Amino acid sequence: MPHDHPVDHDHHHDHHHHGHNQPGVDHHSHMQDVDEAAEIQVLTDQFIDGFQQAKDKMSYLRLAGVPLEVPDVAHGTAMKLVDVRLTTEWQVGTASPSFGSRELSYLPYPGEMVTERTNLEFVYVSLRSKQLSDLRHFLAQKLRDEAANSG
């Protein structure tokens, strides 16, 4: 089962406040972002495959460093991991705003362009809250933490 996950492109550039020739300003390239997204994609695919095949799902989560509790900052308590949600979707078309119209421009895909996406979310709950944590965000944070600790 292939895992073709959409990639979140969560970085921001502030070109108005920092010149490109200032020393000490982190100037990363878009290529680095593409490399990180590709790495997260591979890790996501491997995590999902491993989780599905693991005989002991809790041990798999522990070995991967998935927290069994996270803080509920709004209520000052801990939220507990209760579910791992695996969903599969098929993108069968695209819709986008149309110029000069209140209707969407819709493009259904021919069969060979339909893509499958498998997503994994961690579901945390407390008495007052529920939080869904996407696997890609978890893995991206782990990569950032590793990079910070190694450098």
What gap in Å lies between CA 67 and CA 141, rounded to an integer?
13
pTM of whole model > 0.85?
no
pLDDT of res. 35:
83
| Residue scoring higher pLDDT (66 or 4) | 66
The residue extents of the domains of the chain are 31-96+108-150
| Average pLDDT of the chain, as a whole number | 83
> Can you say whether residue 135 is alpha, beta or left, with left for phi > 0 and alpha for psi between -120 and 50 degrees?
alpha
C-alpha–C-alpha distance, residues 111 and 41, integer Å: 24
Q: Where are the alpha helices (H) located in 54-90, listed in sequence order?
A: 57-64
Q: Report the percent of the chain where pLDDT is more than 70.
A: 78
